[in-house]
């Protein structure tokens, strides 16, 4: 069975109460449950990691080698400055989709730049929980060869 790893970065454990006007009122647990239902429907295995610690995310990306077929990554604030996470993505051959709940390009200037964008397959930003659902759908269709 194909396996997908969802990695969420700093402060995303506070979803639901964290700036709900920006990030919505859905908790991370709710998002993961929705993704699990969708993964079951699509017939893939899905695992979840959340960490506030950059090094733990680097290690999770490294450990995904030869285990996972795809990574869905919301690196949160690390998106904008973590060269270590960017290098970890470059170091492995597991494809990564970059996810954001909010439209980072419509927010503060410092959120417009993603250091990981050049080394991921693509970015989905601005659709709330549906950014994750869309990423899962694309990952599965890529794995199956339905899309190039």
Nearest distance in Å: CB 123, ligand DQA: 10
Q: Maximum CA pair distance of the chain?
A: 41
How far out from the chain centre does Cα 74 lie? Answer: 4
Residues 105, 16: Cα–Cα separation, whole Å: 22
- Residue from 104, 124, 135, 138 in contact with ligand DQA (CB under 6 A): 104
In this complex, which beta carbon is closest to ligand DQA, that of residue 2 or of residue 11? 11
Evaluate whether 3 touches 44 at the Cβ level (below 8 Å): yes
| 80 annotated active-site | no
| 111 forms part of the interface with ligand DQA (CB under 6 A) | yes
Sheet of 122-125, strands arranged across: 45-50, 3-8, 70-74, 96-100, 122-125
122: tokens are 């693509």
Nearest distance in Å: CB 43, ligand DQA: 27
| 39 forms part of the interface with ligand DQA (CB under 6 A) | no
Active site residues: 23, 100
Q: Which residues lie near ligand DQA (CB under 6 A)?
A: 11, 74, 76-77, 79, 100-102, 104, 111
């Amino acid at each position: 069975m194909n396996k997908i790893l969802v990695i969420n970065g700093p402060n995303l454990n506070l979803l639901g109460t964290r700036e709900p006007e920006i990030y919505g009122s859905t908790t991370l647990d709710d998002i993961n449950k929705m993704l699990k239902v969708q993964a079951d429907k699509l017939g893939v295995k899905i695992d979840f990691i959340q960490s506030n610690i950059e090094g733990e995310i680097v290690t999770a990306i490294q450990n995904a080698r030869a285990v996972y077929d795809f990574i869905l990554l919301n690196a949160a604030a690390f998106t904008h400055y973590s060269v270590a996470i960017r290098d970890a993505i470059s170091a492995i051959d597991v494809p990564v989709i970059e996810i954001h709940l909010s439209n980072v390009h419509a927010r503060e200037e410092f959120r417009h730049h993603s250091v990981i964008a050049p080394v991921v397959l693509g970015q989905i930003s601005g659709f709330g929980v549906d950014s994750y659902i869309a990423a899962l759908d694309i990952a599965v269709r890529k794995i199956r060869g339905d899309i190039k």
